[in-house]
Structure 1
Amino acid sequence: MDAAETLLAIEQIKQLKGRYFRFMDTKDWAGLRTIFCDDATFDARASLSLDGAGEGGRAAESNDWVYEGGDTIAAFIKGAAGASRTCHHGHCHEVEILSDTEAKGVIAMEDQIFAEDDVTLTLHGIGHYHETYRKVDGQWRIHTSRITRLHVSLG
C-alpha cells in the first residue's frame, strides 16, 4: 500500500470504531452487528474489573465474558447495554496497517453506564481496546477486540 492508501485505511478503521461507539450508545443493534467479522472474538473479561479477575460481587460477573462470532458478540453487547443509558468515547487511535486486508490498533476509551433512572452512575471506566481488523468485502471490520482497564468504578 502506498502512503495515501495507508492513510485512507487508517481513517476507515477510525470511522469503524466511531460507529461501534455510536451504535452501542444509540441502541442500533443491527448497525452494531455490521462492525464485527463473522468469526470475530470479543474479550470483555476486564469490563467490570481492572484485570478481568474480579473477586466477588458485580466485578466477578465479567470474569468469563469472552464471545465468539459476530452474531453472538452483538447479542452479548445488546444484553449488557440493554436499556441502560451508555456513553462511550474513543480517543487517540493508534492503527497499524499490516497488509491490504489486515490491521491492528489500540484505542483509548472511557465509558459511563447509568441505571434506568438516568441519574445513578453504575459504571465509570477508563482503559483501552486492543484490536485486530480485517477487510471483508471491501469493508474494514473488527476481528478481535479485548478491553483492558486503567480504572473502573462500579456504583
Structure 2
Amino acid sequence: MPEIDPVTRLIAIEEIKQLKARYFRCMDTKDYAGLRKVFADDATFDASCSLSVEPAPDAENWIHAGGDTIAAFVEAAVAPLRTVHHGHCHEIELMSENEARGVIAMEDQIWDAEGKPFLHGMGHYHETYRREADGWKIVTSRISRLRVILG
C-alpha cells in the first residue's frame, strides 16, 4: 500500500469521526433521512447484540443489508423511544485513501414512550468505511456490548 500523506490521513480520520457523530445525532433526533445518508447503499449492520452482551438467539434476523433497509430498521426500533447515544475514543485506521476501519466506544441510554428506563448499554461499534463521491460512508457496522442494564 502506498504511504498516505499525514495531512490526508488526519483529514480522513476527522471526516469519519464527523460521520459517526452524525449517525448518533440523526438517530437520537429521529432524522431518518439524514441517518440513511451515513450508510453506503451496500452497507450491512449487525445489531444482534443490541439488547444483550451475547448475540440474540435469532442473530440472523438482526443483520440488515442495504442502506435503505438499515435506516428502516433503526427507525422502527427507536421511533417510539427516547434515545441518547454517545460515541468516544475513536480508533480509526486508514487502509487506503478511500477505505478505513475503526472501533468506536459507545454508551447509550434508552427510555420508553412513558419515560421509563428501557436500556442502558456500553460497548463498541466495529466498522468499515468507504469514501464515495459525496463523502465517507459506513460500509459495515457491528455493535458489541460490554454491559447492558435492562429496565
**Shorter chain as normaliser: what TM range?**
over 0.9
C-alpha distance in 2 between matches for 1:16 and 1:3: 20
Q: 2 CA distance for matches of 1:108 and 1:21?
A: 12
Cross-structure match for 1:81: 78
**Structure 2, unaligned stretches of length 5 or more?**
none
Counterpart Cα distance in 1 of 2:68 and 2:61: 18
Count of matched residue positions in the alignment of Structure 1 and Structure 2: 148
Is 1:132 matched up with 2:135?
no
Alignment CA distance shift 1:91-1:18 (3 Å): same
Task: Give 1:97's match in structure 2, choosing from 94, 99, 112.
Answer: 94
CA distance in structure 2 between the aligned counterparts of 1:9 and 1:40, rounded to whole angstroms: 19
Is 1:67 aligned to residue 82 of structure 2?
Answer: no
For residue 131 of structure 1, what is the amino acid of its counterpart? E
- TM-superposition CA deviations, 1:59-117 (whole Å, max 9, x none): x7x67300000000000000000121000000100000110110000000000110101
Question: Shift in Å at residue 51 of structure 1?
Answer: 1.6
| Percentage of pairs with the same residue | 60
Question: Could you state the TM-score of these two structures normalised by the residue count of structure 1?
Answer: 0.92
Aligned position for 2:112 = 115
CA RMSD, 1 decimal: 1.2
**Gap runs ≥5 in structure 1:** 55-59
Partners of 1:46 and 1:63 within 8 A in 2 = no
Deviation, structure 1 residue 138: 4.2
In structure 2, relative to structure 1, the CA distance for the partners of 1:25 and 1:148 (3 Å cut) is same
Match in the other structure for 1:142: 138
Find the residue that maps to 1:135 and give its secondary structure.
strand
Q: Which of 45, 51, 58 is the matching residue for 1:42?
A: 45
* Structure-2-length-normalised TM-score: 0.94
Alignment-mate amino acid for residue 80 of structure 1: A
